[in-house]
């Protein structure tokens, strides 16, 4: 069974034992497990969709917003995309054993710094079942074991997907317990997972500020937060306005329920009367509820824009709502982003190299875009095959958490009898 009936501590101990075996597995064997995972996803598509339909119909999912239901929903295309993502990870270079540095010491020792797996990674996540596969693929290739704790309302979907990966691991001769799903337990289970010192080497919570706060209160294991995304698009005075219109629309509407969707549009005062009516009309026609400051509302022409309050500037809506503000220049835009943003993904649209450089150097975020949508902050888009989440921290990883972010390093010294005097 993929969904364990043992305690959290027993599950983490089993993952720790499996981690020792998968850490020393060669690339070929790990790739066999990944290819088997991709194949089984394709073969078991109907079974996966049936489990997902059960989750969507369950009363536990009844109160979800439409954006969260979209994140929960699987389709044949999304299952196929999961299989493709696994094969992309399979094709990537194995990070384990990569030599980072090498030098000869004065003592004659040959000192190498090499990349090694972390051990046991635990991930807590909400809604999106594809995270189960993304996480499993990345940890298998990077030689780690993983303990997955998804939402209760995605329990059937996650169980079906985890079972497929465990079957693939066994087929490759690797321990099934390199991937363990805890199902969707309560806060007590979350607290227990966050305190498994000596068993869990890294905990990655994917979710909103509530989850982050809950973990911070109890965690005794190292934590890397895949944090919320209050992202901005700033349209500068020198922007190509048609380009800016496309980028702002895409950043908000293409998939509004994800962390790299834009939540605030900042418009330079010099072009607001020419730019705002068209872009706000585009957004409103797509169903976006708009709120703004006084200047944005005045420039909106016939487009309905409600009055923004202070909470709006700090909100990750994860849906079809957007705040709009007018600023007097790039420095004011930078100040707004740094005051209200979460350090995730920020964008400037401009033809001015000086403005672009000011924004890039001044904004404190994991990803900064010049003339592109914030929607590209993604492990798959960055060539990592997939991601476990996006970190807004600065240690030990920032941005998409891919295979290399799931490794650490060790120093290996070779000598011929040296002793220290």
* pLDDT tens track for 125-157: 887 899 999 999 999 999 999 999 998 899 999
Q: What is the mean pLDDT of the chain?
A: 94
195 and 236 in a common domain: no
Q: Quick one: what percent of the chain has pLDDT higher than 70? A: 98
What average pLDDT score do residues 181-197 get?
A: 87
Kindly state the average pLDDT of the residues 313-326: 96
Distances (CA, A) of 387 to 269, 321, 406: 38, 26, 10
* Interval 114-121 mean pLDDT: 98
pLDDT exceeds cutoff 50 at 2 = no
User: Is the pLDDT assigned to residue 67 strictly greater than 80?
Assistant: no
Is 1 within a domain?
no
Spatial CA neighbour of 248 closest among 238, 262, 258: 262
Looking at the structure, tell me whether residues 210 and 251 fall in a common domain: no
pLDDT tens digit sequence for 208-259: 778 888 899 999 999 998 878 999 999 999 999 999 999 999 999 999 988 9
Has residue 2 been placed in a domain? no
Label residue 82 by pLDDT band (50, 70, 90). very high
Q: Is 335 within a domain?
A: yes
Distance between CA atoms of 274 and 299, rounded to whole angstroms? 9
How far from 32 is each of 18, 28, 167, 174, 364, CA to CA, in Å?
17, 6, 12, 10, 41
- Residues 160-189 have a mean pLDDT of 92
Same domain, 86 and 166: yes
Written in H, E and C, the secondary structure of the chain is CCECCCCHHHHHHHHHHHHHHHHCCCHHHHHHHHHHHHHHHHHCHHHHHHHHHHHHHCHHHCCCCHHHHHHHCCCHHHHHHHHHHHHHHHHCCCCCCCEEEEEECCCCCEEEEEEEECCEEEEECCCCCHHHHHHHHHHHHCCCEEEEECCHHHHHHHHHHHHHHHHHHHHCCCCHHHEEECCCCCHHHHHHHCCCCCCCCEEEEECCHHHHHHHHHHCCCCECCECCCCEEEEECCCCCHHHHHHHHHHHHHCCCCCCCCEEEEEEECCCHHHHHHHHHHHHHHCCCEEEECHHHHHHCCCCCCEECCHHHHCCCCCCCEEEEEEECCHHHHHHHHHHHCCCCEEEEECCCHHHHHHHHHHCCCCEEEECCCHHHCCCCCCCCCCCCCEECCCCCCCEECCCHHHEEEEEEEECCCCCCC
What is the structure's pLDDT at 379?
A: 87
Q: Are residues 108 and 192 in the same domain?
A: yes
- Position 382 pLDDT exceeds 80: yes
Tell me the mean pLDDT in the region 6-33. Answer: 97
Residues 361 and 400 in one domain: no
With cut-offs at 50, 70 and 90, classify the pLDDT of residue 34: very high
Q: Examine the pLDDT at 66 and tell me if it is beyond 90.
A: no
Number of domains in the chain: 2
Of 65, 12, 53, 25, the residue nearest 289 (C-alpha): 65
Residue 395 and residue 328 share a domain: no
Q: Are 137 and 34 in contact (CB under 8 A)?
A: yes
Give the pLDDT of residue 226.
Answer: 80
Q: What is the mean pLDDT of residues 40-62?
A: 95
State how far the Cα of 237 lies from the Cα of 267, in Å rounded to an integer. Answer: 8
**Residue 5 pLDDT more than 70?**
no
Tell me whether residue 382 is in a domain: no
Residue 420 placed within a domain = no
Query: Looking at the predicted structure, is the pLDDT value of residue 85 above 80?
Result: yes
Question: Distance between CA 111 and CA 387 in Å, rounded?
Answer: 32
Checking if the pLDDT of 323 tops 90, the result is yes
Per the confidence metrics, is the pTM higher than 0.95?
no
Q: Are residues 214 and 105 in the same domain?
A: yes
* Domain at 220, CATH number: 3.40.605.10
Supply the pLDDT for residue 3: 47
Lowest mean pLDDT among 29-33, 37-41, 103-107, 222-226: 222-226
- 167 pLDDT higher than 70: yes
Q: Are residues 134 and 56 in the same domain?
A: yes
Q: Which domain holds residue 85?
A: 8-226+388-414
Confidence grade of residue 389 (pLDDT, cut at 50, 70, 90): confident
pLDDT reported for residue 22: 98
Same domain flag for 289 and 392? no
Asked whether the bond before 67 is cis by omega within 30 degrees of 0, the reply is no
368 is a domain residue: yes
Taking the CA atoms of residue 354, residue 358, residue 361 and residue 363 in that order, the dihedral angle to the nearest 10 degrees is -140
Shared domain for 147 and 251, answered yes or no, is: no
**pLDDT tens-digit map of 70-81:** 889 999 999 999
Q: Are residues 410 and 343 in the same domain?
A: no
Domain assignment of residue 383, yes or no:
no
Q: State both tokens at 241.
A: 């306005």
If pLDDT is split at 50, 70 and 90, which confidence band does 381 have? very high
Number of residues written out for the chain: 421
In a domain, 134, yes or no: yes
Q: What is the CATH number of the domain that holds 305?
A: 3.40.309.10
Q: Mean pLDDT, to the nearest integer, of 270-295? A: 98
Residues 54 and 187 in one domain: yes
Residue 1 has pLDDT above 50, yes or no: no
Residue identified by tokens 């239901």 is 69
């Amino acid at each position: 069974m993929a969904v364990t009936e043992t305690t959290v501590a027993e599950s983490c101990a089993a993952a720790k034992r499996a981690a020792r075996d998968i850490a020393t597995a060669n690339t070929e064997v790990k790739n066999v497990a990944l290819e088997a995972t991709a194949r089984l996803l394709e073969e078991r598509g109907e079974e996966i969709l049936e489990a997902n339909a059960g989750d969507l119909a369950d009363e536990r999912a009844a109160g979800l917003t439409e954006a969260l239901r979209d994140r929960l929903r699987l389709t044949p295309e999304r299952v196929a995309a999961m299989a493709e993502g696994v094969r992309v990870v399979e094709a990537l270079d194995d990070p384990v054993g990569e030599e980072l540095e090498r030098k000869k010491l004065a003592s004659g020792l040959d000192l190498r710094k090499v990349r090694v797996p972390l051990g046991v990674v635990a991930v807590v996540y909400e809604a999106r079942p594809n995270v189960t596969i993304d996480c499993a693929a990345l940890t298998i290739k990077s030689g780690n074991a993983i303990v997955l704790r998804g939402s209760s309302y995605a329990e059937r979907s996650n169980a079906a997907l985890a079972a497929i990966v465990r079957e693939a691991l066994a087929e490759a001769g690797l321990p099934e317990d390199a991937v363990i799903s805890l199902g969707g337990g309560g806060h007590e289970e979350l607290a227990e997972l966050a305190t498994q010192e000596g068993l869990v080497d890294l905990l990655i919570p994917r979710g909103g500020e509530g989850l982050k706060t809950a973990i911070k209160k109890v965690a005794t294991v190292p934590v890397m937060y895949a944090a919320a995304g209050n992202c901005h698009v700033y349209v500068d005075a020198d922007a190509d306005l048609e380009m800016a219109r496309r980028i702002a629309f895409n950043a908000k509407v293409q998939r509004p329920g994800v962390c790299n969707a834009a939540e605030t549009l900042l418009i330079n005062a010099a072009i607001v009367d020419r730019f705002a009516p068209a872009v706000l009309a585009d957004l409103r026609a797509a169903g976006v509820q708009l709120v703004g400051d006084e200047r944005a509302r005045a420039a909106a022409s016939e487009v309905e824009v409600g009055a923004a309050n202070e909470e709006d500037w700090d909100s990750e809506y994860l849906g079809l709502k957007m705040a709009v503000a007018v600023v007097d220049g790039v420095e004011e835009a930078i100040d707004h982003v740094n005051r209200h943003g979460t350090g995730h993904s920020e964008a400037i649209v401009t033809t001015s190299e000086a403005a672009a450089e000011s924004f890039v150097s001044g904004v404190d975020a994991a990803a900064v875009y010049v003339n592109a949508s914030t929607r590209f902050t993604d492990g798959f888009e960055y060539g990592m095959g997939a991601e476990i989440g996006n970190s807004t921290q600065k240690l030990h990883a920032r941005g998409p958490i891919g295979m290399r972010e799931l490794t650490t390093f060790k120093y290996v010294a070779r000598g011929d009898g040296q002793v220290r005097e």
